[in-house]
A and B are shown apart, each in its own frame.
Chain A
Amino acid sequence: MHDANIQRLLQQRSFTELGARQRARALLDAGSFRELLDPFARLESPWLARQGIVPQADDGVVVAKGLLDGQPAVIIAIEGAFQGGSLGEVGGAKIAGALELAAADNRHGIPTRAVLLLETGGVRLQEANLGLAAIAEIQAAIVELRQYQPVIGLVAGPVGCFGGMSIAAGLCSYLLVTREARLGLNGPQVIEQEAGIDEYDSRDRPFIWSLTGGEQRHASGLVDGYVADDVEQIRGQLLALFAKGKPALERSRRHAWFLERLQGVDTSVQADAAAVRSTYQGEQP
């Protein structure tokens, strides 16, 4: 026990600086990490190499089983440094498949819970329709698993969570973010491309953070926890959320509340951070 404590203290460190595999290992109970389909399984993308893009042996997704607070858990971590954390066929199937198996566990009385570490731009455009299909299946699996156990999403940064995976994040029982996190459907570049620079200036970083950054999302009630970039604090918040059990009504089921709020928005003017906070929290920041 003493050794384990020392180990913990030595591990006190930034979470966002860790790679996907290290993140999963750092959050699971000490010594319980077991990776499935590890890089030596060589399940690389069947589509990247033929487009002249170097693949990664794990396709950028780490699936690790283990324990969280002594309970069976699976942590799914996306590697943001590989192709922007984009999801292709293999990485997407690893996530969907793991969530499907966790749901099957629960149907058979094993209370497997899931954590998603989201660092992703969404669909990998080089595998476009297979990425999109996989994300639909990930979303289906989250909704299924969520019936039994909380599914917790963590957006730590620096990539953030975008595209179809931001919708997946919105389906989670609980969402945790850090100050380094951004959460939004469309990447700034794409909005600028589609809607023009007056609508969205993709190079105006303060503007983008003010609308989609972790602090703003927390202040607007679009996530459940705002946590420092520290392994132990993140782990502590995860365990506290699991201890709460399933939410009474998931955020993605609150259409009546959101529609009522949106009806009060003056859409003739552009949105800013304060207006969003006031709309969703009923008070000025």
Chain B
Amino acid sequence: MSSTIEQRGRSWFHALAGAATPLAGLPASLLVADAELAGQPVRYLAVVADAGNPFPRARNGEVGLLEGWGLAQAVDQAIEADADSPHKRALIAIVDVPSQAYGRREEAYGIHQALAGAVDSYARARLAGHAVVGLLVGKAMSGAFLAHGYQANRLIALRDPAVMVHAMGQAAAARITLRSVEELEVLAASVPPMAYDLDSYASLGLLWETLALADSGRPGAEDIVRVQDCLGQALADIASGPRDLRTRLGAVNRAASAQVREMLRAQW
């Protein structure tokens, strides 16, 4: 059974990609299609729940072995197809990933390497001149987000309680840090990087834009147009900016990240 949250990625994929034919030859847990946005070629990518996933720990939209390597393939294919073109298609990662897959098969067969495959392709795409945008429509958790979205030039998040960025689910985080969930919540209220809400995350300066929609879960025509406009603006912004991730530095709540780099440069 998939909950409604886990279908957000699928809903937004269909809303944005429209009638475009999904790319064949990928795991069923990946939806990938080429379309056009703001007059530019784009490739939409989403990881979705697949009850028939051969890996049982990756059936609810988790990023597992097949998803990591499959994303790597889908992105790499775009890099190769556009290698000689001055107009490289943009890559839009629709992010609704509850977690990486936690399981014995996953560790044994090297899920870390599969996720590295996805990160590798997204990062190389960005360096090759593809605009990469992460559109956060649901959960963006930990290793799953690293593999699918976090290498983007720009991150856009829908303002909705179901949209959440974090390194670990609360229960597991409590166990590992030897605190209760209640204690963690108290701490999170005064320590923005620990919090699970989007405003705290936004205060870290990692998001380029946030959008409040009428219904983030079941996008209507007006919401879709607003997201498309925002994506178009992001593409224009990327075209005039650097290919690295430096635009993420600058928030007061991330001052040390900038200070460390400045001091390193001075001592280098």
CB-CB under 8 A from A272, the residues of chain B are 108
Asked if A256 is an interface residue, CB under 8 A from chain B, the answer is yes
Q: A129-B194, A163-B143, A253-B76 are in contact. Are A222 and B107 (CB under 8 A)?
A: no
CB-CB under 8 A from A271, the residues of chain B are 104-105, 108-109
- In the bound assembly, the distance between CA atoms of A133 and B254 in angstroms comes to 10
The 8 Å CB contact of A259, one of B70, B108, B143, B172, is B70
CB-CB under 8 A from A195, the residues of chain B are 57, 102-104
- In the bound assembly, the distance between CA atoms of A57 and B175 in angstroms comes to 27
Q: What is the total number of residues of chain A having a CB less than 8 Å from a CB of chain B?
A: 86
Asked if B217 is an interface residue, CB under 8 A from chain A, the answer is no
Asked if B150 is an interface residue, CB under 8 A from chain A, the answer is yes
* A191 contacts B107, C-beta separation under 8 Å: yes
CB-CB under 8 A from B213, the residues of chain A are none
* B102 contacts A37, C-beta separation under 8 Å: no
Q: Mark A43-61, 1 if CB is under 8 A from B, else 0.
A: 1011100110000000000
B247-268: which residues lie under 8 A (CB-CB) from chain A? Answer: 248, 254-257, 259-261, 263-265, 267-268
- In the bound assembly, the distance between CA atoms of A250 and B76 in angstroms comes to 13
B89-120: which residues lie under 8 A (CB-CB) from chain A? Answer: 99-100, 102-117, 119-120
* B109 contacts A276, C-beta separation under 8 Å: yes
Asked if B201 is an interface residue, CB under 8 A from chain A, the answer is yes
CB-CB under 8 A from B145, the residues of chain A are 132
Asked if A150 is an interface residue, CB under 8 A from chain B, the answer is no
B164-180: which residues lie under 8 A (CB-CB) from chain A? Answer: 165-169, 171-173, 175-177
* A143 contacts B244, C-beta separation under 8 Å: no
The 8 Å CB contact of B256, one of A43, A51, A199, A262, is A43
CB-CB under 8 A from B206, the residues of chain A are 129, 133
* B69 contacts A185, C-beta separation under 8 Å: no
Q: What 4 pairs across the A-B complex have the smallest Cβ distances? A: A170-B116, A166-B112, A271-B108, A93-B260
Interface residues of B (CB under 8 A from A): 54-57, 65-66, 69-70, 72-73, 76, 99-100, 102-117, 119-121, 123-124, 126-127, 142-143, 145-147, 150-151, 165-169, 171-173, 175-177, 187, 190-195, 200-201, 204, 206, 244-245, 248, 254-257, 259-261, 263-265, 267-268
Cβ contacts A to B, 25 pairs, < 8 Å = A37-B264, A37-B267, A43-B260, A46-B256, A51-B187, A94-B260, A101-B264, A122-B167, A123-B168, A128-B193, A129-B200, A133-B206, A133-B248, A137-B248, A143-B120, A163-B167, A170-B112, A189-B176, A191-B103, A195-B57, A222-B113, A252-B116, A253-B121, A259-B70, A262-B65
**A128-B173, A186-B106, A255-B76 given; 12 more Cβ-contact pairs under 8 Å:** A50-B190, A100-B244, A126-B194, A139-B150, A139-B151, A167-B116, A171-B119, A185-B107, A200-B102, A252-B72, A254-B117, A258-B114
